[in-house]
A and B are shown apart, each in its own frame.
Chain A
Amino acid sequence: MLIPATRTTFHTLLDARPLAEPSDAPAIIFVATDTEPVVVTRRALATAVTHHAAALHALGIQPGDLVLIAHTQNLAAVYAFWGALQLGAIPTLFPSLTEKLDAEVYRRNMAQLIDLSQVKVVLTSDDFAVTLREVTSCPVYGTSDLPLDVPSPSFTPPDPDSIAFLQHSSGTTGLQKGVALTHTAVLNQLAAYSQAIALHADDVVVSWLPLYHDMGLIAGFLLPLVQGLPLVLLSPFDWVQHPALLLQAIDRYRGTLCWLPNFAYNHCARRIRRRDKEAVSLASMRLFINCSEPVRHSSHQLFLDAFAAQGVTPDRLGVSYAMAENTFAVSQTLPGQPAPLDWIDGQLLAEQNVAQPVEPTQPEAVPLVSCGRPISGTAVAIVDEQGNPLLPRRVGEIVVRSDCMLTGYYRREDLRPFQHGWYHTGDRGYLADGELYVIGRSKDLIINAGKNIYPQDIEAVVNEVPGVYPGRAVAFGVPDEREGTELIAVVAEVETADSEQQNQIRLVIRQRVVVETAVSVSFVTLVPRHWLRKTSSGKIARAENRRKWLAERNAP
């Protein structure tokens, strides 16, 4: 087991147990609706990885080359990722095309990333390879283009301090940042995090999380594979439509660990049918870990109420605060104990940036769920706008320093992630009794269903819709109790007052936003000219217009 005490026995990710000790034990069990599960043993995984490394080598890919992998969540993506690692190339996983997104827009975004990051090769499905070749000069290989039968050369193990892979962190479209992580950083994270969750040789990880997201890649993929624990893997698209699949997988394979963004607690609690729920047990679970969007006490309550009969108890609901730049986890609550709850004065928090404890029965009391304590090797501080440390219970920016931090943003020397050795997260929070509480983002970022969305990307689309005054549209997040996440609202100024024409504009706004950005808008409000407020510099004031919209919505 990789923990801080055994850390020196691991050099690179290629010391992963299934590769180092092949056997007939299951490494990955891929589960999908309507097909039989596919079990990949450690031996089968090690063999497939070597064949993929040899194939990439035969295609002329060199150590240090950036390899972009664009597959739906499947075993082809898994083998390509590990094959590239074994060769010493730098793999990075890109989201696959969804039914919603416009294929043209998707190809354009990918072509942009290929240019910006100097991608050397793209590995994808056979179908998609054909269309992708039309928009990029970079070599593109479909699954059947890989010469998997070539003899394998002997590969030199990579330098532990070389870049292992990139995680693409959110950024506005076309400006995605490749978070470059070394083998050393990733192994430091896995060792510290395994200790934080008291990882055990009998653990079984169940995950539907996308591999192009840090939580999916690190917690839901590399952690079990490096440690040699069985990984029960689902596709995010399958899970969103069929949430009971997760519970069935936990029940069937006696799952013990599962990471979920906050909205997933609501999705499971509200959208799993009675018949499906009654057919499963979740008693094998040791920890559900809430991570990657603001954690809501109400979502945990909803989940507990829904699944108490299946064996879920408060001490099995953990919380973590994580980011791609720190490889993954910054902090984690103690396993086997309910996440601490801090009842504070919501009004004082909003007005004075102070987290003042109050009795839960007070009208202004709001519950904040702890994200736990920093994991070993990671330090957290709360600072004011000048970078000065703040006292406990004072809200400021969360800054992080660790031994598992990014090396830099790939091919973006213009971006400097550190100030005096600290990474500034852009998140706001406070510390109390050593526990970290996260309040939200400093900027206008919207977090919808675990996904970071920049309002300017949505506004750019809305501004192009005929009938909308260009530059007179705003997008913002609206917290939604029922969904357990932020929903997206758009307010746009239009000329017409005709309800037929307005219906049409609303529909076009929804359609254009979904095909261009793959996010669904929940509320479209059309307003007359001069409804939107601007800042003194002439920009649309998002936060102010959001307040105005909420006030009008809540007005009787």
Chain B
Amino acid sequence: MDETTLRRQMRAFILNELVREPDYPLRDDEGIISSGLMDSFALAELGVFVEDAFDVYIPDADLTVAKMDSLNQMVARVWRDLPA
């Protein structure tokens, strides 16, 4: 999988499942939790999604608002550990 595909899949998951507004024009660097688009429950859901979809386990210490607020941050964290 390339980075663009990963980003597209994560964006779709966030908008469809977490923000619940599929057409929302989300910017890559936009604070998704700090802006109130989704609440901090969603971090745990994101953790489950990336384990199921990409077999990446993000430790709890990295599943925080500070480290996972924007699409850029989320994609970079998953990309780092994506199995080859």
Smallest CB separation, B51 vs chain A (Å): 5
Interface size bracket, A side = 20 to 34
Chain B interface SS verdict (over half)? loop
Q: Mark contacts of A514-533 with chain B using CB atoms, 8 A cut-off: 1 yes-contact digit, 0 otherwise.
A: 11000011111000000000
Contacts of A506 in B (CB 8 A): 21, 24
Task: Say whether A270 contacts B48, CB under 8 Å.
Answer: yes
Q: Does B25 contact A (CB under 8 A)?
A: yes
Contacting A240 at CB < 8 Å: which of B25, B35, B40?
A: B40
Interface size bracket, B side = 20 to 34
Contacts of A244 in B (CB 8 A): 60
Task: Say whether B24 contacts A503, CB under 8 Å.
Answer: yes
Which of A273, A506, A507 has the most B CB atoms < 10 Å from its CB?
A273
Task: Say whether A510 contacts B44, CB under 8 Å.
Answer: no
Smallest CB separation, A433 vs chain B (Å): 37
A499 nearest in chain B by CB position:
B23
Mark out the residues of chain B between 47 and 84 whose CB falls within 8 Å of any chain A CB in the assembled complex: 47-48, 51-52, 57, 60-61, 63-65
Task: Say whether B60 contacts A242, CB under 8 Å.
Answer: yes
Which of A99, A270, A523 has the most B CB atoms < 10 Å from its CB?
A99
Q: Mark contacts of A103-138 with chain B using CB atoms, 8 A cut-off: 1 yes-contact digit, 0 otherwise.
A: 000000000000000000000000000000000000
Task: Say whether B63 contacts A274, CB under 8 Å.
Answer: no
Contacts of B25 in A (CB 8 A): 503
Q: Does B14 contact A (CB under 8 A)?
A: no
Q: Does B16 contact A (CB under 8 A)?
A: no
Smallest CB separation, B58 vs chain A (Å): 9
Contacting B41 at CB < 8 Å: which of A99, A240, A275, A507?
A: A240
Task: Say whether B36 contacts A241, CB under 8 Å.
Answer: no
Q: Does B28 contact A (CB under 8 A)?
A: no
Q: Does B43 contact A (CB under 8 A)?
A: yes
B43 nearest in chain A by CB position:
A241
Task: Say whether B48 contacts A271, CB under 8 Å.
Answer: yes
Q: Does A267 contact B (CB under 8 A)?
A: yes
Task: Say whether B40 contacts A275, CB under 8 Å.
Answer: no
Q: What's the Cα separation between A295 and B53 when bound, in Å?
A: 31
A503 nearest in chain B by CB position:
B25
Smallest CB separation, A238 vs chain B (Å): 9
Task: Say whether B36 contacts A273, CB under 8 Å.
Answer: no
Q: Does B8 contact A (CB under 8 A)?
A: no
Q: Does A91 contact B (CB under 8 A)?
A: no
Contacting A272 at CB < 8 Å: which of B21, B48, B57?
A: B48
Contacting B64 at CB < 8 Å: which of A100, A241, A245, A270?
A: A241
Task: Say whether B51 contacts A273, CB under 8 Å.
Answer: yes
Task: Say whether A99 contacts B44, CB under 8 Å.
Answer: no
Q: Does A33 contact B (CB under 8 A)?
A: yes
Q: Does A237 contact B (CB under 8 A)?
A: yes
Contacts of B63 in A (CB 8 A): 241-242
Contacts of B39 in A (CB 8 A): 100, 514, 520
B69 nearest in chain A by CB position:
A99
Task: Say whether B24 contacts A520, CB under 8 Å.
Answer: no
Task: Say whether B21 contacts A241, CB under 8 Å.
Answer: no
Q: What's the Cα separation between A515 and B31 when bound, in Å?
A: 14
Task: Say whether A33 contacts B60, CB under 8 Å.
Answer: yes
Contacts of B43 in A (CB 8 A): 241
Contacts of B15 in A (CB 8 A): none
Query: Given A273-B48, A275-B51, are A34 and B36 neighbors across the interface (CB < 8 Å)?
Result: no
For the complex with contacts A241-B63, A271-B47, A449-B41, 7 further pairs of A-B residues with Cβ separation under 8 Å are: A240-B40, A241-B64, A271-B41, A271-B44, A273-B51, A503-B25, A514-B36
Would you mind naming 27 contact pairs between A and B with Cβ atoms under 8 Å apart? A99-B40, A100-B33, A100-B34, A100-B40, A240-B41, A240-B44, A241-B41, A241-B43, A241-B44, A241-B63, A241-B64, A242-B60, A245-B60, A267-B44, A271-B48, A272-B44, A273-B47, A273-B51, A274-B52, A275-B51, A503-B24, A503-B25, A507-B24, A511-B35, A520-B36, A520-B38, A520-B39
